[in-house]
């Protein structure tokens, strides 16, 4: 599964109007990025959004990061993925995950025993009947996995993992659990600012959002971060681990930590103070630095 060395996490671009979204993703493809990742935001339904992006591009892969297992039953999930994979062969990746209790409960579902729920959900997906033309190849499935047991499940049952809001030490741990042959594509945020002081106003919105969700906090505690560093918007040390900032070379160096830790791809989430506009200028600035393999260390996996 060739997803490319660098991907783009759609982020606030998911809220653009459809004409603006089409223009933005076509530009992202032209820049040379390998994959566009789109979340299960409270906006467009994630399969519908994926179809819009696939139809506006010709080669770039589109991945759900993630499609919420509580939002649709296993047959709907599997067959939605099959339909997109058949319409756009080898271009759709079905990333699924358990989301978060607060978000699931708000939609009228009951979040409980996420690992057990995911294991049973994968069983049911494999048995889902499908009468339309089958995709060839079928869509790869990856998990939005954070903890060791969910990562183990990803390695045993799927094509890999797409961890979100993780430092490089998590990537190293995840690679060890997944083994060498599974996709590992963590998300990482970027702010184009030369100093931490300049980066924090924009980056802190991102930090506050995800530090408020227990799954992400617990994952950081499991990695050894102290609770006092996790009080939103987080300590400077945590900010530096979660958000790349600095001059262009420093931003690339910070992102490279994930590659050196074993990532196949980094899904870059460019944060800006103007979320109503696509950060295509920033992505165009970043693309040649990330896509130039000579900038990566000898430890980078090929």
Half-sphere exposure of 97 (CA within 13 A, CB side): 27
Global pTM? 0.94
Inter-residue contact 259 to 7 (CB < 8 Å): no
Please write the tens of the pLDDT for every residue from 89-123. 999 999 999 987 777 777 777 778 999 999 999 99
Please write the tens of the pLDDT for every residue from 36-50. 999 987 789 999 999
The whole-number pLDDT of residue 99 equals: 85
The whole-number pLDDT of residue 294 equals: 43
CA dihedral 254, 217, 16, 263 (to 10 degrees): 40
The whole-number pLDDT of residue 104 equals: 77
* Lookup: tokens for 105: 């409960």
The whole-number pLDDT of residue 112 equals: 85
The whole-number pLDDT of residue 293 equals: 52
Please write the tens of the pLDDT for every residue from 72-89. 999 999 999 999 999 999
Domain borders along the chain are: 6-189+256-295
Please write the tens of the pLDDT for every residue from 149-192. 999 999 999 999 999 999 999 999 999 999 999 999 999 999 99
DSSP conformational letter for 138: P
Q: Which CATH architecture has domain 6-189+256-295?
A: Alpha-Beta Barrel (3.20)
> Which H/E stretch holds residue 178?
helix 168-178
The whole-number pLDDT of residue 299 equals: 39
Cα R_g (the chain), whole angstroms: 18
Mean pLDDT on 242-254: 96
**CA pair distance 70, 101, nearest whole angstrom:** 10
Please write the tens of the pLDDT for every residue from 22-36. 999 999 999 999 999
The whole-number pLDDT of residue 110 equals: 75
Mean pLDDT on 272-287: 94
Predicted confidence (pLDDT) at residue 144 exceeds the cutoff of 90? yes
CA dihedral 72, 215, 193, 28 (to 10 degrees): -20
């Amino acid at each position: 599964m060739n997803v490319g060395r660098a991907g783009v996490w759609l982020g606030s671009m998911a809220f653009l109007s459809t004409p603006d979204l089409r223009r933005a993703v076509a530009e992202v493809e032209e820049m040379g990025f390998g994959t566009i990742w789109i979340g299960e935001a409270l906006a467009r339904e994630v399969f519908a959004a994926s179809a819009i992006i696939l139809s506006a591009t010709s080669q770039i892969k589109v991945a759900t990061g993630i499609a919420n297992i509580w939002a649709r039953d296993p047959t709907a999930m599997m067959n939605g993925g099959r339909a997109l994979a058949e319409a756009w062969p080898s271009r759709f990746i079905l990333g699924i995950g358990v989301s978060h209790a607060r978000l699931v409960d708000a939609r009228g579902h009951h979040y409980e025993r996420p690992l057990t729920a995911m294991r049973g959900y994968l069983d049911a997906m494999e048995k889902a009947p499908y009468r339309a033309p089958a995709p060839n190849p079928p869509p790869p499935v990856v998990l939005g996995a954070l903890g060791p047991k969910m990562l183990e499940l990803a390695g045993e049952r799927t094509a890999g993992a797409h961890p979100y809001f993780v430092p490089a030490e998590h990537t190293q741990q995840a690679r060890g659990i997944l083994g060498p042959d599974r996709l590992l594509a963590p998300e990482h945020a970027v702010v184009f600012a030369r100093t931490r002081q300049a980066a924090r106003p924009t980056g802190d919105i991102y930090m506050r959002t995800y530090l408020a969700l227990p799954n992400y906090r617990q994952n950081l505690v499991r990695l050894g971060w102290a609770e006092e560093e996790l009080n939103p918007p987080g300590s400077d040390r945590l900010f530096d681990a979660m958000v790349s900032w600095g001059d262009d070379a420093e931003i690339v160096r910070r992102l490279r930590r994930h590659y050196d830790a074993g990532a196949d791809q980094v899904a870059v989430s460019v944060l800006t103070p103007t979320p109503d506009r696509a950060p295509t200028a920033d992505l165009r600035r970043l693309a040649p630095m990330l896509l130039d393999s000579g900038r990566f260390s000898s430890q980078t996996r090929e």
